[in-house]
Amino acid sequence: MSLTGLLTEIVLAFNLSVLYYFALLNAVYLLLLAVSISEILRFVRRTFFSDYDQILKSEMTWPITIVVPAHNEARSIVETVRSLLGVNYPEFEVIVVNDGSTDDTLGRLVEAFGLRRTDRIYRRTLPTEEVRGLYGSLEIPNLVVVDKVWGGKADALNAGVNGSRYPLFCSVDADSIIEETALLRVVKPFMDRPQEMVAVGGIVRIVNGCEVQDGRVVRIGLPRRALPVLQVVEYLRSFLSGRSGWSGLRSLLIISGAFGLYRKAEVIAVGGYDRWSATEDLELILKMHEHLRRTRRPYRIVFVPDPVCWTEAPATLRVLGRQRNRWHRGLLQSLWRHRTMIFNPRYGAIGLFALPYFAFFETLGPFVETLGYVIIPIAWWLGVLNTDFFLLFLVFSIFFGVFLSVASVLLEEISFRRYPGWEHLATLVLAAVVENFGYRQVLGLFKVKAFFDFLRRRHAWGRMDREGFRAPDPVPGHGSAL
Partner 1 sequence: MRVIVLQLIVGTAGVLLFLIAVIIVNKAMREAGESTDRRRQIEFGPAVAVYLGSADSRSILSYLPRRVGRRDRRIVEALLVEAASAEGSASIAAPAGASLVSAGTQARAAAAFEALGSVDRALQDLDSRRWWKRAEAAERLGLMRCPRAADRLVLLMGDEVGEVRMRAAAALGLMRSSTSIRPLVAALSDPSRWSAIRVAEILVRAGQEAVDELLPAWDNLPRHARLSALDVLARLRTPRAQDLMRRCLSDPSADIRARAAHGLGQIGDTGSAGGLQEALADAAWPVRAMAAKALGRIGLPAVVPALCRALEDREWWVRANAGEALRRLGDAGREALVGMLDAADPYARHQALAQLEESGVVDGWIADLASPDEGRRRAALRSIEKIIALGRTDHLAQRAASIADEGVRRVLAEALRR
Residue 34 sits in the site that holds partner 1 (CB under 8 A)? no
Residue 319 sits in the site that holds partner 1 (CB under 8 A)? no
- Pick the binder of partner 1 from 23, 34, 265, 391 (CB under 8 A): 391
Residue 54 sits in the site that holds partner 1 (CB under 8 A)? yes
- Pick the binder of partner 1 from 364, 382, 392, 475 (CB under 8 A): 392
What are the two backbone dihedrals, phi and then psi, of residue 370, each rounded to the nearest 5 degrees?
-65, -40
Residue 45 sits in the site that holds partner 1 (CB under 8 A)? yes
Distance of closest approach, residue 131 Cβ to partner 1, in angstroms: 11
Q: What sign has the CA pseudo-torsion 331, 333, 338, 341?
A: positive
Q: Which is nearer to partner 1, 117 or 294 (CB)?
A: 117
Closest to 155 measured CA to CA, from 85, 67, 77: 67
Stretch that binds partner 1, among 199-207, 360-368, 388-396, 469-477 (CB under 8 A): 388-396
Q: Which residues, other chains included, contact 78 with Cβ-Cβ below 8 Å and sequence gap of 6+?
A: 108, 109, 112, 215
Residue 139 sits in the site that holds partner 1 (CB under 8 A)? no
- Pick the binder of partner 1 from 102, 138, 345, 383 (CB under 8 A): 138
Angle between helix 439-455 and 363-382 (nearest 10): 110
The whole-angstrom separation of Cα 469 and Cα 80 is 9
The whole-angstrom separation of Cα 148 and Cα 154 is 13
Stretch that binds partner 1, among 174-182, 227-235, 393-401, 450-458 (CB under 8 A): 393-401
Residue 402 sits in the site that holds partner 1 (CB under 8 A)? yes
Q: Which is nearer to partner 1, 424 or 447 (CB)?
A: 424
The whole-angstrom separation of Cα 189 and Cα 401 is 32
Q: Which residues, other chains included, contact 332 with Cβ-Cβ below 8 Å and sequence gap of 6+?
A: 363, 450, 451, 454
Q: How far is CA 9 from the centre of its chain?
A: 41
Residue 119 sits in the site that holds partner 1 (CB under 8 A)? yes
Site for partner 1 in 163-182 (CB under 8 A): 165
Q: Residue type for 263, please?
A: R
- Pick the binder of partner 1 from 16, 117, 343, 460 (CB under 8 A): 117
Residue 298 sits in the site that holds partner 1 (CB under 8 A)? no
Strand 64-70, strand 168-172: pairing? parallel
Residue 441 sits in the site that holds partner 1 (CB under 8 A)? no
Closest to 136 measured CA to CA, from 169, 167, 163: 163
Closest to 254 measured CA to CA, from 182, 334, 190: 334
Residue 188 sits in the site that holds partner 1 (CB under 8 A)? yes
- Binding residues for partner 1, rule: CB under 8 A, are 45-46, 48-49, 51, 54-55, 57-61, 116-121, 123, 133-134, 136, 138, 141, 165, 188, 190-194, 387-388, 391-392, 394-395, 399-400, 402-403, 406-407, 409-410, 413-414, 422, 425, 429
